[in-house]
């Protein structure tokens, strides 16, 4: 079933998912679609039913993947096994198939390693999708600029007719904002990360983070300015939620920026939407 995701459906999917992630599943479905997102900062497992309704989800901070590449296979395997194991137990052993994703342009080796991690958790991988394509599916777009600001990198993709026609990946992401705070306040990375994620404090921290925001914005501008006919940028990935970043990117790129309410869940949910036997 290749359902078209309208903006209303899309909002419903990520709002619902945000309310159930890391909680005991309250509902059951007949069949499940599973999306596994192995990120630099977080691993997310998203479970939808056959009508794309979020059923369960798990998210765990982990440093087993770097910029889309599995760097600690055993660590990744153990974490995914545990997450899938828990969800499968709650959902009566019905999680059987999954989709996973890789950054575009990373090639066969990366794709296989990601796939093996998921298969070792007992799931049959039915699809390995490009991350921005997964995000675009949830956003209900086939054309446009998708910028994914995750932990390690900012990935820029331009989509045309549902295909990626341009990609760039630059090593500045959420981690760098944390490092700026750690340096500024002379505190540990962990303390700085906590400070950054405190939404009450983000407004006050914005002036300190502004140069790093401008760097991200310049990266986005450099890779998108030649696409003069595209005037909107969709920003996903956890670091997109940083207070003030939207405005800095809009001012620098002169394009309109749309950030969905829970940017951190967009790619994982998109991956789950691709969990269909082809």
Binding partner at 144 among ligand ATP, Mg ion, none, C-beta below 5 to 8 Å by kind:
none
| Complex with ligand ATP: residue 41 or 76, whichever CB lies closer | 41
Q: Which residues pair with 144 in a beta bridge?
A: 159
- The answer to whether 57 contacts ligand ATP (rule: CB under 6 A) is no
**Judged by CB under 6 A, which of 10, 40, 88, 157 binds ligand ATP?**
40
- The answer to whether 263 contacts Mg ion (rule: CB under 5 A) is no
**Judged by CB under 6 A, which of 175, 224, 252, 253 binds ligand ATP?**
175
| Complex with Mg ion: residue 39 or 260, whichever CB lies closer | 39
- The answer to whether 18 contacts ligand ATP (rule: CB under 6 A) is no
- The answer to whether 106 contacts ligand ATP (rule: CB under 6 A) is no
In angstroms, give the least distance from the CB of 46 to Mg ion: 13
**Judged by CB under 5 A, which of 54, 144, 150, 268 binds Mg ion?**
150
- The answer to whether 70 contacts ligand ATP (rule: CB under 6 A) is no
In angstroms, give the least distance from the CB of 237 to Mg ion: 6
Residues engaged in binding ligand ATP (CB under 6 A):
39-42, 67-68, 148, 150-153, 173-175, 193, 196-197, 237-239, 241-242, 264
């Amino acid at each position: 079933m290749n359902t078209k995701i309208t903006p209303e459906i899309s909002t419903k999917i990520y709002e619902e998912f945000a309310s159930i992630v890391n909680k005991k599943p309250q509902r059951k479905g007949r069949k499940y679609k599973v999306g596994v997102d192995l990120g630099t900062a977080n691993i997310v497992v998203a479970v939808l039913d056959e009508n794309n309704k979020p059923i369960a989800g798990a998210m765990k901070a982990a440093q087993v993947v770097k910029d889309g590449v599995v760097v600690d296979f055993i660590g990744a395997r153990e974490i995914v096994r545990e997450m899938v194991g828990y969800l499968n137990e709650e959902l009566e052993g019905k999680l059987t198939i999954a989709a996973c994703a890789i950054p575009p342009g990373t090639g066969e080796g990366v794709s296989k390693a990601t796939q093996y991690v998921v298969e070792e958790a007992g799931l049959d991988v039915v699809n390995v999708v490009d991350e921005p394509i997964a995000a675009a599916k949830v956003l209900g777009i086939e054309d446009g600029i998708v910028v994914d600001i995750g932990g390690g990198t900012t990935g820029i993709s331009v989509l045309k007719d549902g295909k990626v026609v341009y990609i760039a990946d630059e090593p500045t992401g959420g981690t760098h904002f944390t490092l700026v705070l750690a340096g500024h306040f002379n505190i540990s990375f962990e303390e700085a990360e906590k400070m950054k994620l405190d939404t009450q404090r983000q407004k006050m921290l914005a002036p300190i983070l502004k140069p790093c925001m401008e760097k991200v914005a310049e990266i986005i501008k450099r890779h998108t300015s030649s696409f003069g006919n595209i005037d909107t940028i969709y920003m996903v990935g956890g670091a997109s939620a940083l207070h003030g970043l939207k405005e800095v990117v809009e001012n620098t790129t002169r394009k309109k920026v749309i950030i969905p309410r829970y940017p951190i869940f967009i790619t994982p949910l998109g991956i789950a939407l691709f969990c269909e036997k082809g």
